[in-house]
Structure 1
Amino acid sequence: SNQELLLVNSEVEKNSKNTLVAYLLWWFTGFMGGHRYYFGKTGSAVAMTLIFWLTVWFFGLGFIITGIWMLVDVFQIS
């Protein structure tokens, strides 16, 4: 019914994530996957964090890998 549809829409809006918060997390903690933790993508967030911290000492390789990942993610946030 129409009332149920309104209830579902209000719940979806209430549970949706704030894009401003996501972009701020991307800007400050994006290289470690902070924005992915916010969206509940913990598997890829943990992978991003481990890739960064385990390979950052090898000529900045971790920052290069996660930097490319960050660039892809910035277009997928919205």
Structure 2
Amino acid sequence: MHDTRCVPAPTAATAPGRAPRPQRSPKSPTTAWLLWIFLGVFGAHRCYLGDWRTAVPMTLTLGLLGVWSLADGVVLGRRLDRSTTGRR
């Protein structure tokens, strides 16, 4: 007999040969803000939120001498919302 159950099409996360993305744990807003206040020029808040691609250049340039770090303070709330919902 022919099986007629619906099988979902593979997606990028479930395609054969690819490992599924790990679930991100919720991040504490208090910790993120404290990291930004005290270690913002080193990109510690970005490391905490899992954004390694921009944390490394931020560390190497000292947050573009503080300018990048100050700009991050403006958008850190939105970044926290995205990190807790799992969106990028």
Is TM-score (shorter-chain normalized) higher than 0.5? Answer: yes
The CA distance in 2 between the partners of 1:20 and 1:35, in whole Å, is 11
Specify the alignment match of 1:8 in structure 2. Answer: none
Specify the alignment match of 1:69 in structure 2. Answer: 68
What are the ranges of 5 or more consecutive residues in structure 2 without an aligned counterpart? 1-22, 78-88
State the Cα RMSD in Å.
2.0
- Percent identical residues: 38
Tell me which structure has the larger Cα radius of gyration.
Answer: 2
Deviating above 3 A after TM superposition, structure 1's stretches of 4 or more consecutive aligned residues are none
What are the ranges of 5 or more consecutive residues in structure 1 without an aligned counterpart? 1-11, 53-62
1:48 corresponds, among 58, 62, 73, to 58
The CA distance in 1 between the partners of 2:65 and 2:49, in whole Å, is 17
Higher helix proportion (structure 1 or 2): 1
For normalisation by structure 1, the TM-score amounts to: 0.61
SS at match of 2:50: coil
SS at match of 2:71: helix
For normalisation by structure 2, the TM-score amounts to: 0.55
Q: How many residue pairs were aligned? A: 55
